[in-house]
Chain A
Amino acid sequence: AQTVTQSQPEMSVQEAETVTLSCTYDTSESDYYLFWYKQPPSRQMILVIRQEAYKQQNATENRFSVNFQKAAKSFSLKISDSQLGDAAMYFCAYRGATNKLIFGTGTLLAVQP
């Protein structure tokens, strides 16, 4: 069975600084997709960034980028130039052959002004 682990329950960053959220996963599949979702307080989850396992190039979306290390089964999220609106719970998620998303336990990110 696939598992997703986020070892940082909480993180804090100063506004305009950079923060990296960690995620590791375990799978025996070779074809899968990885996602980072953001869940602001009392609001729905939204997709931040996605990575296809067969692509070696790390995905980037504006201030958000990932460091995908397939051999190490690591998928970290880097947020550059942090903004107050980035404060939220961040979930790492895996989707393999079964189509369902498997989530980690989340990292609560606080942004200090």
Chain B
Amino acid sequence: DTGVSQDPRHKITKRGQNVTFRCDPISEHNRLYWYRQTLGQGPEFLTYFQNEAQLEKSRLLSDRFSAERPKGSFSTLEIQRTEQGDSAMYLCASSLGPHRNTEAFFGQGTRLTVV
């Protein structure tokens, strides 16, 4: 297994366009997390899945953001009508539940630039 994979690594889009990011977790990891990281800040939680169920969403996840994890495998994060404030690094992480002390493995992230 090569770890958590995110695609694309970089995305430049015009304001108002829709973008979709993909995350492939480590096989058999039942938990998958999305975070957003802006320059000089720590990652901020967006949402998390246990298998295919989306169990929690941050208030940061406005109605322009939607995430899915069909069949409990890969996940997609879509941002509709992008705004300049959406420019950030979007990180995906996965872990093997149910214990809370298990390590979360992170992908390299997708850097989004909205122009």
Q: A: which residues have CB within 8 A of B?
A: 4, 6, 32-33, 37, 42-47, 50, 52, 91, 93, 95-96, 98-106
CA distance A50 to B100 in the complex (A): 11
Chain B residues in the interface with A (C-beta under 8 A): 3-4, 31, 33, 35, 40-45, 48, 55-56, 91, 93, 97, 100-101, 103-104, 106-109
Contact B45 A102 (CB under 8 A): yes
A44 touches B109 (CB 8 A): yes
Q: How far is the CA of A93 from the CA of B104 in the complex (A)?
A: 11
Cβ–Cβ < 8 Å partners of A44 in chain B: 3-4, 106-109
Instruction: Tell me the minimal C-beta distance from B49 to chain A in angstroms.
Output: 11
A103 and B4: CB pair below 8 A?
no
B56 and A98 within 8 A (CB): yes
A42's nearest neighbour on chain B, judged by CB, is B108
Q: Across the interface, which residues of B come within 8 angstroms of A42, CB to CB? A: 108
- B106 lies within 8 A of A99 (CB): no
B107, A47: Cβ atoms under 8 Å? no
With A100-B33, A100-B48, A100-B56 known as contacts, the answer to whether A47 contacts B104 (CB < 8 A) is yes
Task: Give 14 CB contacts A-B under 8 Å.
Answer: A33-B100, A44-B107, A44-B109, A45-B91, A45-B93, A50-B103, A52-B101, A91-B43, A93-B42, A99-B56, A99-B97, A101-B104, A102-B45, A106-B41
Set of chain A residues within 8 Å of B93, measured between Cβ atoms: 45, 101
Contact A106 B42, beta carbon cutoff 8 Å: yes
**Which residue on A lies nearest to B4, using beta carbons?**
A44
- Min CB distance B101 to A, Å, is 5
Chain B residues near A95 (CB, 8 Å)?
A: 100-101
Most chain B CB inside 10 Å of its own CB: which residue of A96, A100, A103, A104: A100
